[in-house]
Amino acid sequence: MTPPASGLYVHVPFCLRKCAYCDFYSEVPSARPDAERDYAELLGRELASLPELFDPETVYLGGGTPSALSLPVLQALLKSILSRTPHAEEITCEVNPGTLTKEKAKVLRDAGVNRVSLGAQSFDDRTLAFLGRIHRAEEIGDACRMLHHQGIDNLSLDLIYGLPPSISHGPEDDLERLIELAPDHISCYALTYEPGTPLHRDLEDERFRPLDDETCRNQYDAIRARLKAAGYIHYELSNFARPGRECRHNLIYWTGGDYIGVGPAAHSYWQGRRYGYPREWTAWHGRVECGGWNPVAEEELDEMAPAPAELKCQKSRADPGRDAPAELKCQKSRADPGREWVVLGLRLLEGVSLSALRERTGLSLEDLYDGEVERLIGLGMLVLEGDRLRLTEEALFISNAVFSELI
């Protein structure tokens, strides 16, 4: 897998309704008059002021729910984004099946979107209701057909597993329904209960019992085996793809490439430094009004907001990792750049290239660690093969525990 040089991430901070498990930053647009119009205008200012050198090969519109934007705003937004990214080859838009129409599918295609990430999550209406999703199961297939009809064939579908036993018997039925739709890319995330979300409150109130870790691990292993049998390559902890259909944009994150994020709560890694915006509309608005693309250096942002999801030490939706074995304990919350490189690269099943680490940072494993890597190898969590350090099969499900040792 050869990652592209750089990518643009656009955070669209609106959802028609918050899902019960979600702690991503987004607002319900009706709560703020003229929110969409203000957003599009400010985003235009950000795009116009990006560094001249920045010439991304990938674009990713995420959020939030980009497909929840009204048709004219979506059209205008895509136009301004894609006129700033003339050399982008992979242009992904996240779509909620409950918000897609034939007209929006056509707008995506006409603008140049060539990859869609569809938040399917489950094919069971009861589970979708438990998760607080706005869509019904039958709308997932409808959305795939609308996109295919427009010639957008590179589809990625998200699935959530690890649901409470009172809600689901396991992911098998969902997997079969998903495989029938034959997407090129599949992301599977274990349900996590993030503090502050309605699902977390219901859990605290003992309204349901969560799935035990052993069963959740068995579900993860079953998903891996079924998708492998269906011809998918497991290339990242939570991600599976047909050969050549790995998400090029996300590969930038995992291989230490440059990316610039625009929109509230978006993060950037540009020329060796990390930046971000707070998870808050007014702060983003104020900074962009003052200076276009004007994020806060990460050191300052640490005082204002949590670390970006890809650097979190704790469990996140994007990670199947669960509880740590007793001998693995979180030691650090903020990484130095070399350690960050290692931890992000370990998310890939092929592991992290040590020669690339040396080339990019001038550092070796010996410079970065004081026996931690050897200890994890001894525990059967890591394996060193030639130029690559990778997680063992045993460690995939408890990856966050391993990462907390290495960050």
Give min distance, CB of 197 to ligand SF4, in A. Answer: 9
Of the pair 22, 223, the CB lying nearest ligand SF4 is at 22
Binding mask 66-105 for ligand SF4 (x = CB under 6 A): ------------------------------x---------
CA distance 397 to 99: 33
Whether the link from the prior residue into 321 is cis, omega within 30° of 0, is: no
Work out whether 63 is an interface residue with ligand SF4 (CB under 6 A).
Answer: yes
Q: Which is nearer to ligand SF4, 15 or 354 (CB)?
A: 15
CA 358 to chain centre: 27
Q: Min. distance of Cβ 231 from ligand SF4 in angstroms?
A: 28
- For residue 77, what are the contacts with CB-CB under 8 A and spacing of at least 6? 10, 12, 40, 43, 69
> Could you say which of 4, 7, 44, 64 contacts ligand SF4 (CB under 6 A)?
64
Of 27 and 213, which CB lies nearer to ligand SF4 in the complex structure?
A: 27
Nearer to ligand SF4, 68 or 373 (CB): 68
- Residue of 152, 10, 143, 33 lying closest to 79 (CA atoms): 10
Minimum separation from the CB atom of position 174 to ligand SF4 (A): 17
Contact 116, 126 (CB under 8 A): no
**C-alpha closest to that of 75 among 38, 48, 29, 112:** 112
Spatial contact of 310 and 348, defined as CB atoms under 8 Å apart: no
- How far CA 350 is from CA of 158, 254, 389, 393, 395, in Å, comes to 22, 11, 8, 11, 14
- Residue 26 near ligand SF4 by CB under 6 A: yes
Binding piece for ligand SF4, criterion CB under 6 A, among 17-25, 139-147, 152-160, 185-193: 17-25
CB of 386 to ligand SF4, least distance (A): 39
Phi and psi dihedrals of 388, rounded to 5? -120, 140
Interacting residue with ligand SF4 among 9, 24, 220, 293 (CB under 6 A)? 24
For ligand SF4, the binding residues in 119-178 under the rule CB under 6 A are 119
Burial degree of 53 (CB within 10 A; 0-12, 13-18, 19+): exposed
Site stretch for ligand SF4 (CB under 6 A), options 19-27, 78-86, 175-183, 336-344: 19-27
If one asks whether residue 58 binds ligand SF4 (CB under 6 A), the answer comes out as no
> Could you give the CA distance from residue 118 to residue 105 in angstroms, rounded to a whole number?
12
Q: Which is nearer to ligand SF4, 66 or 345 (CB)?
A: 66
19 vs 406, beta carbon nearer ligand SF4: 19
By CB under 6 A, name the one of 8, 10, 12, 15 that touches ligand SF4: 15
Dist CA 239 CA 182 (whole Å) = 15
**Count of residues of this chain found to bind ligand SF4 when the rule CB under 6 A is applied:** 11
Task: Decide: is 19 part of the binding site for ligand SF4 (CB under 6 A).
Answer: yes
- Verify binding: residue 22, ligand SF4, rule CB under 6 A: yes
By C-beta, is 7 or 64 nearer to ligand SF4? 64
The residue whose two tokens read 């869509």 is 135
**Closer residue to ligand SF4 (CB): 24 or 397:** 24
Nearest Cα to Cα of residue 256 among 359, 401, 116, 372: 359
List residues binding ligand SF4 (CB under 6 A): 15, 18-19, 22, 24, 26, 63-65, 96, 119
